[in-house]
Structure formats: C-alpha cells, structure tokens
Amino acid sequence: MPMREQPMHANQIEVTAETATRLVREQFPRWADLPVCEVTSHGTVNAIFRVGTDLVARLPLEGGDLEARRIELLHEMDAARRLLSVSPVAAPEPVALGEPGAGYPLPWSVYRWVPGSVADDTDVADSRRFAAQLAGFVAAVRSLPTEGRTFRGSRRGGRLTQHDDYVRRGLHRSTGLIDTVGLAALWEQLRSTPRTCADTWTHGDLMPGNLLVRDGGLTGVIDVGQLAVADPALDLQPAWNLFTPRARAAFRDALACEDAEWDRGKGWAFAQAIGCLWYYRETNPVMSRTAHRTLQALLDAG
C-alpha cells in the first residue's frame, strides 16, 4: 500500500516495500526469491504486501506493545482457522507469524492470498444474488459453536448504549459533513432497540473492501481481525454500507431478520460510520465516503 502523504493515525508506522522485503528475506529464507509488492488498499489497520503469487504479508500500521500485538495476531490466526472450517467462500488462511526486525518494531503475519476484486470496485451493490450469497456467509459464521463465549470488551457488538459518548463526539465532529441533526434523532431511536437473542460468532467488519467479487458473485471474505462472539446484528452492516434498497431487502429476507435485529444492525452500522466519516476525511477518503454512504442510507431508510 503506497504510504499516504498524511498518516491515518497519530502512532502510525511507516512501512515500505523495502522493509517488507527485508523482513521476508531475513525471517523466511524459503521465500527469499519471491517478489514483494505493495497492495493498494483502503484498509486502516495493516499495510499489505503481496509475496509472490500465493502469499500476502500483513504488517500492523499502528505502534503498540509488542506482546499485546503478538497476542492480537495469534487471536486473529485462530479466528481465521475457525472461519475456514465453515465459510462457503474463500477466506484467509494463516501461514506464518513474523517477528520484529529490519527496522519494523512489531510482529506481523503471512496469509494465503485470496483473489478477487473488492466490492467497491464492482457493480454488485444492486445484486440480489450477491446479497443472498453474503447472507449465506453471515449464516455460516453464526453457525460456529460459541463454546460458552459471550461478548467481552468495549468495541462494537455488545450494547448500543455503550457507544453513546463515541456517537456524540462523532456527530459533533461531523457537523457540516452530513445531516447531523437527523442522525442524532435516528440514534435516539436506535440506541435502545431491545435485544433478547444470544451472542453468536460474527465477522465484525463486513466493509465493501473486505468482500471479494468474481463474475458478479461473492468469491471471498477477508480481514478476520474483528471475528468474535457478539450481537449477531453486527454483521448486517452491508445492508447500508454497500447495498441499494433492492439488494438490502434480499439480504434481510435471506437472513429472516425480525425488526429488532434489523434496527440493531442499523445501530451498529451507524456507530462505525459516524467515527469514520470525520476521522478519515483527509487521510482515507474512500473510507470516509463509505461512511457517508452508510449514514445517508440510514437516514433515507428512516
């Protein structure tokens, strides 16, 4: 990923293809002759580098505690293996864990390359077929046994009301970028949506850039860093961050969503987008535009 003129994060690490090449050659000599190339990406968590034709190196962009990062990457690899066991489409397969070196301060990971075009670069937004395929993926993730796990932590996926302060700050920062008055009223409607269903496994980050397309169909889902047990409505995000009303209805029908689950899905899509809209406006315009599209779709849907 070519480095942006402005970093997205205050603690962002500059990662170049040269650094990635040195890391691969020093730590994995069996891949030393493979070309290492930057991958254009609008992601916000990792710098992505293709290693040969079959592998991809993922280097975290934000600095942090070394051991904490290693635990995060090992958790992500475990999540990826779980997903591979049920996914109806291609998903990331972990290959190796790298260590700090060559001027890069953190652990990093290597996965199998998953081919396909990201959904944002295709015309699937109005496709009922694609919507039904994605619903099948969501249902497959939900089928994973929780083994007694429940939601833990403060990220998205617990209770919407836990995010009141975050949403208020996002609304304040987004003044002039969108109808924040309408959005504030909508949040008041969504934040207390009732919930009685149990936690399930969720992908947690079904953004258009993580959905891969080939010949108009869903061919893969990538980036499993947020895969965890949470409110199942969390994975309804694509209804508003990608789909038109026609495909949105097909997505809902395929998952048989009742009203409360659907409204919680709106709430989770809202909570993510309201933070991204202003935060990435200058440093990642694609992410900011996706957030705007999501919020406007929520406003239009009422």
What is the layout of strands, in order, in the sheet containing 217-221?
117-118, 211-214, 217-221
| Beta carbons of 294 and 275 less than 8 angstroms apart | no
Return the closest-CA partner of residue 184 out of 168, 203, 198. Answer: 168
pLDDT tens for 8-54 read 666 678 888 999 999 999 999 999 999 999 998 766 778 999 999 99
pLDDT tens for 86-116 read 999 999 999 999 999 988 999 999 999 999 9
**Ordered structural domains, the chain, with CATH:** 17-112 (3.30.200.20), 117-301 (3.90.1200.10)
Average pLDDT rounded to a whole number, residues 172-200:
96
**Kind of pairing, strands 108-112 and 94-98?**
antiparallel
pTM for this one?
0.92
| Beta carbons of 11 and 63 less than 8 angstroms apart | yes
Q: Which residues contact 130 (CB under 8 A, 6 or more apart)?
A: 119, 124, 213, 216, 217, 218, 247
Percent of the chain with pLDDT over 70: 96
Mean pLDDT of all residues in the chain? 93
Q: Which residues contact 233 (CB under 8 A, 6 or more apart)?
A: 195, 257, 261, 262, 264, 265, 267, 268
The dihedral over CA atoms of 283, 287, 288, 290, expressed in degrees to the nearest 10, equals 170
CA 67, CA 45: separation in Å to the nearest integer? Answer: 17
